[in-house]
């Protein structure tokens, strides 16, 4: 039970008032000399079960009436916010709002999406509880902004749905920074989210530092998680996995690959349904829109996922550049029923190899210059470290660097290239020096006695991920004869048997900075002789780098690095939002001559819900409470129940009065007149 | 020359004068020593014919009915009813509980008024009156006499009677039944706070000794209503243990107890043929006495 005015609970000892009055009354007895003691003694001996119970009941109802009054004026709340009984009105209330596409999921019966329901519930709750200030940290920008009133949470466009994923730890960091900077008093932090793992990143390293930071705070910070964890069974999500244009006999055709994934589906159950017959088979009409022209195809889906490879859509020969959309019929979550893409002739992949070791440079140049497909143009040039000034960075798709890490102007040029979305793969120099790039530097070479093999690597994502057919790259076949250590903060993508990192990635806002612990030189590793891994790595990096070079670009919804969304012109899209937030809303935008497709994060389709224990573990030691709600819930999370207690008090008084009413006396039994018995 | 006439608190001459018009009758034959207005079990010389019987030698020849001899040539003696006086024995309960009175009059004071009135009426019509003050036993006993001067002594005893001690009237009744000569008029003034079944033996003993028994059962109205409000510590006026009680809690059971007691007592009185009068001490004692005397006048005549 929570109370809005808990200080009135201090009056609860008044419940003992009837007992005290009773005791005082007992003390104020009168003394009477009495003759008819034999009847008093007889009355005292008589069974007094009900009479005693009646007295106790009267006392109990009197106490209940006072308790009801005290509780009523304390303004009790009913609801799941069990931990909210802290008492006084908070100084600041910070709302962390998850606006990710998964929050647009609705449930049967209507009532709005999880996001709408959560906002509504938060408004009601905040209005009831009150606060000195209301702050909103929404997932798109992670920037605290003040709300004048709780109702603003519904009205503000900053709380609407977006296509970008959330980063709850980053939102908490923003809240922490706000609390620290403004030295606020007692703070309530409400997190409204559907607990998707990709939003919460429960395995991330930021949680421990966040927890410690909040534990060290002098002011009281309470966390309330308003969770909407229920997945929508049978919700389908469509995603374009690949688009490429190729010439055909008469003209051209667009090859569109897409995947459809069912949310909340149990793979085993699906397999069983598939094997038992057609019961799991579903026909799904898929609509493909190319520059406004629509076509439809029907796919048969039998399992939890469906993959369509290279669906051909004819194009005119002159139709080289354009945009498109793939959509499926409406279901529980409208945010994942469409996906957007742009197409154009692929930009030439031009690699720049900066190498001090010719034995290393040659394999790199070969790997970068051999095109993976006939229509892809690949080239590579070897540049000496001191000739970087002549490089046309605007045409470089990947930079392969086997030399001491760049410094001074070279470092600035490489950094600018990376910030623009470029990809860099560093290999260790012959003599590692003190040079640093983005906080990392090479350490000394290590040469174990025998060749080391790669023990672990990330096959699920990034440059070493599995092939399109699902097979793993032969990373384990690589033999490393010597490797160079790394100092600084980086994420290992592949590690040798001894635990030394072979391939690491440095965290960047855009672009990619990779560091390979050895070189393709024959004396260092078998990367050149067993060239599949090297070739795939280089080509994947080159492909990623080429994407930012062409006149079309696909962006995952979120803060657009290197872009200015305010200059974008919206051609088509699903979400309506502010023009300045164009990068947050999926759709097609035109920026000058370039076409930009903004899509939702791929992780949105896959992310499971954070387990209850794991979530509790994230807030371990903090003042934390959680309430699970469901989309479309029209009832309030909390509501004042003082009327109930007032009614209870009145009922107690009425019952007490009824019990106190004297019984009709059996007067004939003690009549005085007519006593003669003669 | 004459002793100074004392003013008795329990006597009201106006009441006594008004009651003088109502004779006190016995319901059963009395054995008096002189002629009176009460029926006697023996033949006597009243004007009321009783029977004829055969003459036996030794009978007073003056009582022969010569007219009967003339008609039947046999000797008959004509007999008449005898009227005699009675011995009125007033039994005044002086136990502690008789000292209770919720208003200005206590039960013993009320009993004094009744006893004084009855004694006055009895002696005025030539009957003998005496008084026995009883509590745990016979505290004081003044045998019945018909001397008018005896009335003053009787009043003295009534005046000096103090409520004290416990009630053992059941034992006292047996003692009185034996000590008082047969065929007396026994008037008991008590609150009878004793188990009714224990009283039954005493009353039957009195009936066995052919006493005419009348009972004034004196009760204070508060003893019936028990309308106390505040928690009360009840001190036993007869020396028993005190009791603390909340009247609101115990009143109902108290009324139930006293109701049962009164029912039982009434039953005992009916079975013992006692002239029973339940009297609230808030009633006018003149009215009480009036009802008593009228009631007895109706029951007069049995021999």
Average pLDDT over residues A138-149: 87
In tens, the pLDDT along A337-378 reads: 889 898 887 778 888 888 888 888 888 888 888 888 877 888
Considering only residues A136 and B49, tell me which one the structure prediction assigns the higher pLDDT: A136
Is the pLDDT at B189 greater than 60? The verdict is yes
Contacts of A59 in chain B (CB under 8 A): none
Which pLDDT score is estimated for B45?
A: 62
Q: Lowest-pLDDT range, A150-164, A387-401, A663-677, B118-132? A: A663-677
Which pLDDT score is estimated for A665?
A: 56
Of chain A, the percentage scoring pLDDT greater than 90 comes to 10
Q: How confident is the model at residue A46 (pLDDT cuts 50, 70, 90)?
A: confident
Q: In terms of DSSP bridges, do strands B185-190 and B212-219 run parallel, antiparallel, or are they unpaired?
A: parallel
The CA distance from A79 to A628, in Å, is: 11
Does an H or E element contain A574, and which? Answer: none
* B252–A51 C-beta distance less than 8 A: yes
Which pLDDT score is estimated for B38?
A: 67
> Residue A654: which residues within 8 A CB-CB, separation 6 or more?
none
Identify the sign of the CA torsion B188, B192, B194, B200. Answer: positive
The domain over range B13-27+84-300 is classified in CATH as 3.40.50.410? yes
Q: What are the residue boundaries of the structural domains of chain A, listed by start?
A: 2-29+46-78+641-660, 92-231+609-637, 234-271+280-344+551-605, 349-549
Q: Lowest-pLDDT range, A12-16, A417-421, B236-240? A: A417-421
Which of B:91-110 have CB within 8 Å of A?
96-100, 107
Is the pLDDT at B72 greater than 70? The verdict is yes
**Burial environment of residue B147 by CB neighbours within 10 A (0 to 12, 13 to 18, 19 or more):** exposed
Average pLDDT over residues A214-234: 86
Is the pLDDT at A168 greater than 80? The verdict is yes
Which pLDDT score is estimated for A64?
A: 94
* A34–B235 C-beta distance less than 8 A: yes
What single-letter DSSP state applies at residue A313?
E
Average pLDDT over residues B225-236: 87
**Burial environment of residue B85 by CB neighbours within 10 A (0 to 12, 13 to 18, 19 or more):** buried
Considering only residues A164 and A470, tell me which one the structure prediction assigns the higher pLDDT: A164
Which pLDDT score is estimated for A82?
A: 44
**Which of A657, A642, A663, A645 has the alpha carbon at shortest distance from A62?**
A657
Average pLDDT over residues A524-549: 85
C-alpha distances out from residue B244 to A551, B112, B165, Å: 104, 32, 21
- Specify the CATH number for A92-231+609-637; select among 3.40.50.410, 3.40.50.620, 2.60.120.330, 3.30.1700.10: 3.40.50.410
Q: A349-549: same fold as A92-231+609-637? A: yes
What is the DSSP code string of A215-242?
A: HH-SS-EEEEEEE-----TTEEEEEEEE
The CA distance from A80 to A226, in Å, is: 10
* B231–A35 C-beta distance less than 8 A: no
The alpha-carbon gap from B124 to the nearest alpha carbon of chain A, in Å, equals 25
Which pLDDT score is estimated for B265?
A: 93
| Extended beta strands in A557-659, E state | 569-573, 587-591, 594-599, 623-628, 638-640
Q: How confident is the model at residue A51 (pLDDT cuts 50, 70, 90)?
A: confident
Phi, psi at residue A338, to the nearest 5°? Answer: -145, 160
Is the pLDDT at B207 greater than 90? The verdict is no
Of B235, B259, B276, the CB nearest to A675: B276
The alpha-carbon gap from A12 to the nearest alpha carbon of chain B, in Å, equals 28
The CA distance from B178 to B208, in Å, is: 10
In tens, the pLDDT along B250-300 reads: 888 899 899 999 999 999 999 988 889 999 999 999 999 999 988 887 766
In tens, the pLDDT along A91-104 reads: 889 999 998 888 88
pTM assigned to the model: 0.57
Which pLDDT score is estimated for B59?
A: 84
The answer for B96, left when phi > 0, alpha when psi is -120 to 50, beta otherwise, is alpha
Structure tokens of A556?
A: 């995952």
Q: Looking at chain B, which residue has its C-alpha nearest residue A41? A: B243
Q: Which residues of A touch B (CB under 8 A)?
A: 25-26, 28-44, 46, 48, 51-52, 55, 663, 665-666, 669-670, 672, 675-678
Which pLDDT score is estimated for A549?
A: 76
| Torsion angle of the four alpha carbons B4, B5, B10, B14, in this order, in degrees rounded to the nearest 10 | -160
In tens, the pLDDT along A453-507 reads: 888 888 887 888 888 777 888 888 888 888 888 888 888 888 888 788 888 888 8
Q: How confident is the model at residue B2 (pLDDT cuts 50, 70, 90)?
A: very low
Q: Lowest-pLDDT range, A107-111, A187-191, B198-202? A: A107-111
Q: Lowest-pLDDT range, A316-330, A635-649, B191-205? A: A635-649
Tell me the CATH architecture of domain A234-271+280-344+551-605: Sandwich (2.60)
* B228–A32 C-beta distance less than 8 A: yes
Contacts of B257 in chain A (CB under 8 A): 39, 42-43, 46
Q: How confident is the model at residue B31 (pLDDT cuts 50, 70, 90)?
A: low
* B277–A676 C-beta distance less than 8 A: yes
Does an H or E element contain B300, and which? Answer: none
Helices (H), chain B: 13-19, 66-72, 107-124, 148-160, 169-179, 196-208, 221-225, 247-271, 285-298
The CA distance from A434 to A442, in Å, is: 8
Of A670, A675, A678, the CB nearest to B258: A670
Is the pLDDT at A80 greater than 60? The verdict is no
In tens, the pLDDT along A602-657 reads: 888 876 889 989 998 999 888 888 888 877 776 766 667 888 899 999 999 999 99
Structure tokens of B244?
A: 């603390």
Does an H or E element contain A273, and which? Answer: helix A267-276
Which pLDDT score is estimated for A546?
A: 82
Of A666, A669, A676, the CB nearest to B276: A676
Neighbours of B284 (CB within 10 A): 10
Which pLDDT score is estimated for A674?
A: 44
Of B195, B220, B236, the CB nearest to A37: B236
Of B228, B233, B257, the CB nearest to A43: B257
Average pLDDT over residues A443-462: 82
Q: How confident is the model at residue B114 (pLDDT cuts 50, 70, 90)?
A: very high
Which pLDDT score is estimated for B277?
A: 92
Is the pLDDT at B113 greater than 80? The verdict is yes
Of B244, B254, B283, the CB nearest to A43: B254
Q: How high does pLDDT run on average in chain A? A: 83
Round the CA-based radius of gyration of chain B to a whole number and report it: 23
Whether chain A has a CB inside 8 Å of the CB on B257: the answer is yes
Average pLDDT over residues A228-257: 84
Average pLDDT over residues A307-330: 87
Determine which of A28, A32, A34, A668 to mutate to test the interface with B (most B C-beta atoms within 10 Å).
A34
Q: Where in chain B are all domains bearing CATH 3.40.50.410?
A: 13-27+84-300
Average pLDDT over residues A113-119: 89
Which pLDDT score is estimated for B112?
A: 93
The alpha-carbon gap from B201 to the nearest alpha carbon of chain A, in Å, equals 17
* B235–A677 C-beta distance less than 8 A: no
Q: Looking at chain A, which residue has its C-alpha nearest residue B214? A: A678
Whether chain A has a CB inside 8 Å of the CB on B229: the answer is no
Of B233, B249, B257, the CB nearest to A42: B257
Tell me the CATH architecture of domain A349-549: 3-Layer(aba) Sandwich (3.40)
* B254–A39 C-beta distance less than 8 A: yes
Which of B:140-199 have CB within 8 Å of A?
191, 193-195
Contacts of A21 in chain B (CB under 8 A): none
The CA distance from B30 to B26, in Å, is: 7
Whether chain A has a CB inside 8 Å of the CB on B266: the answer is yes
Is the pLDDT at A147 greater than 80? The verdict is yes
* B194–A38 C-beta distance less than 8 A: yes
Determine which of B247, B256, B299 to mutate to test the interface with A (most A C-beta atoms within 10 Å).
B256
Is the pLDDT at A567 greater than 70? The verdict is yes
The alpha-carbon gap from A65 to the nearest alpha carbon of chain B, in Å, equals 22
3-state helix, strand, coil split of chain B in percent (to 5) is 40, 25, 35
């Amino acid at each position: 039970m929570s109370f809005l005015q808990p200080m009135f609970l201090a009056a609860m000892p008044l419940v003992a008032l009837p007992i005290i009055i009773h005791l005082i009354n007992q003390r104020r007895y009168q003394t009477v000399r009495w003759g008819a003691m034999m009847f008093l003694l007889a009355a005292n001996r008589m069974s007094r079960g009900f009479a005693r119970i009646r007295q106790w009941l009267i006392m109990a109802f009197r106490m209940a009436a006072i308790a009801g009054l005290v509780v009523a004026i304390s303004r009790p709340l009913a609801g799941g916010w069990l931990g909210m009984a802290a008492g006084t009105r908070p100084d600041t209330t910070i709302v962390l709002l998850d606006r990710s596409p998964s929050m647009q999921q609705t449930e049967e019966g209507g009532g709005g999406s999880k996001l709408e329901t959560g906002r509504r519930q938060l408004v009601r709750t905040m209005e009831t509880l009150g606060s000195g200030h209301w702050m909103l940290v929404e997932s798109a920008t992670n920037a605290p902004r003040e709300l004048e009133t709780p109702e603003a949470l519904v009205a503000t466009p900053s709380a609407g749905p977006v296509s970008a994923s959330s980063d709850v730890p980053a939102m908490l960091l923003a809240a922490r920074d706000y609390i620290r900077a403004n030295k606020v008093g007692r703070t309530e932090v409400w997190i409204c989210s559907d607990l998707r793992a990709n939003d919460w990143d429960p395995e991330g390293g930021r949680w421990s530092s966040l927890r410690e930071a909040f534990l060290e705070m002098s002011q009281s910070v309470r966390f309330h998680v308003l969770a909407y964890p229920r997945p929508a069974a049978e919700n389908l999500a469509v995603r374009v996995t690949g688009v490429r244009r190729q010439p055909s006999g008469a003209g051209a055709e667009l090859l569109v690959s897409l995947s459809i994934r069912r949310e909340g589906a149990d793979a085993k159950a699906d397999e069983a349904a598939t094997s038992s017959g057609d019961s799991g088979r579903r026909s799904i009409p898929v609509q493909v829109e190319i520059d406004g022209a629509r076509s439809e195809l029907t796919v048969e889906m039998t399992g939890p996922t469906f993959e369509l490879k290279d669906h051909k859509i004819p194009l005119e020969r002159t139709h080289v550049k354009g945009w498109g959309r793939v959509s499926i019929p409406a279901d529980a979550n409208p945010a994942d029923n469409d996906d957007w893409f742009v197409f154009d002739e692929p930009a030439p992949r031009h690699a720049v190899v900066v190498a001090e070791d010719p034995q290393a440079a040659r394999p790199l140049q070969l790997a970068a210059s051999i095109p993976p497909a006939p229509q892809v143009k690949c080239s590579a040039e070897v540049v000496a470290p001191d000739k970087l000034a002549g490089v046309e960075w605007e045409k470089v798709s990947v930079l392969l660097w086997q030399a001491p890490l760049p410094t001074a102007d070279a470092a600035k040029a490489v950094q600018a290239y990376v910030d623009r979305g470029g990809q860099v793969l560093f290999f260790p120099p012959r003599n590692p020096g003190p040079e640093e790039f983005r906080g990392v530097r090479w350490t000394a070479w290590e040469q174990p006695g025998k060749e080391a093999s790669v023990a672990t690597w990330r096959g699920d994502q990034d440059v070493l991920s599995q092939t399109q057919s699902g097979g793993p790259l032969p990373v384990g076949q690589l033999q490393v004869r010597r490797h160079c250590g790394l100092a600084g903060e980086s994420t290992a993508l592949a590690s040798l048997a001894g635990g030394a990192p072979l391939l690491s990635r440095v965290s960047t806002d855009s672009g990619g900075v990779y560091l390979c612990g050895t070189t393709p030189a024959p004396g260092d590793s078998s990367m050149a002789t067993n060239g599949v891994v090297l070739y795939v790595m280089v080509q994947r990096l080159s492909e990623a780098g080429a994407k930012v070079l062409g006149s079309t670009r696909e962006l995952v919804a979120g803060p657009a690095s290197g872009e200015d969304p305010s200059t974008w012109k919206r051609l088509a899209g699903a979400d309506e939002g502010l023009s300045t937030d164009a990068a947050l809303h999926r759709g097609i935008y035109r920026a000058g001559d370039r076409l930009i497709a903004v899509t939702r994060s791929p992780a949105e389709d896959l992310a499971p819900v954070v387990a209850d224990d794991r979530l509790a573990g994230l807030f371990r030691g903090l003042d934390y409470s959680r309430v699970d709600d469901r989309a479309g819930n029209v009832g309030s999370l909390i509501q004042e129940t003082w009327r109930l207690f007032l009614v209870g008090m009145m009922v107690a008084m009425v019952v007490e009065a009824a019990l106190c009413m004297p019984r009709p006396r059996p007067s004939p039994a003690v009549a005085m007149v007519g006593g003669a018995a003669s | 020359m004459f002793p100074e006439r004392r003013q008795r608190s329990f006597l009201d001459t106006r009441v006594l004068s008004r009651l003088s018009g109502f004779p006190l009758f016995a319901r059963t034959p009395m054995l008096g020593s002189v002629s009176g207005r009460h029926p006697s079990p023996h033949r006597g010389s009243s004007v009321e014919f009783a029977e004829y019987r055969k003459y036996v030698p030794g009978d007073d020849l003056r009582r022969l009915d010569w007219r009967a001899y003339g008609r039947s040539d046999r000797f008959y003696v004509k007999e008449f009813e005898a009227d005699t006086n009675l011995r009125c024995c007033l039994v005044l309960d002086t136990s502690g509980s008789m000292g209770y009175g919720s208003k200005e009059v206590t039960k013993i004071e009320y009993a004094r008024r009744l006893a004084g009135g009855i004694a006055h009426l009895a002696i005025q019509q030539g009957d003998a009156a005496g008084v026995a003050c009883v509590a745990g036993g016979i505290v004081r006993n003044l045998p019945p006499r018909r001397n008018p001067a005896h009335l003053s002594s009787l009043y003295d005893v009534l005046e000096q009677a103090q409520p004290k001690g416990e009630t053992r009237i059941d034992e006292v009744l047996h003692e009185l039944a034996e000590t008082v000569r047969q065929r007396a008029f026994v008037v008991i003034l008590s609150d009878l706070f004793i188990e009714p079944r224990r009283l039954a033996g005493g009353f039957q003993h009195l009936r066995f000794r052919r006493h005419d028994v009348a009972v004034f059962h004196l009760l204070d109205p508060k003893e019936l209503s028990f309308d106390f409000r505040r928690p009360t510590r009840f001190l036993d006026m007869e020396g028993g243990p005190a009791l603390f009680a909340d009247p609101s809690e115990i009143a109902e059971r108290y009324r139930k107890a006293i109701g049962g007691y009164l029912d039982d007592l009434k039953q005992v009185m009916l079975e013992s043929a006692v002239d029973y009068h339940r009297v609230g001490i808030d009633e006018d004692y003149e009215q009480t006495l009036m009802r008593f005397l009228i009631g007895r006048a109706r029951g007069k005549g049995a021999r």
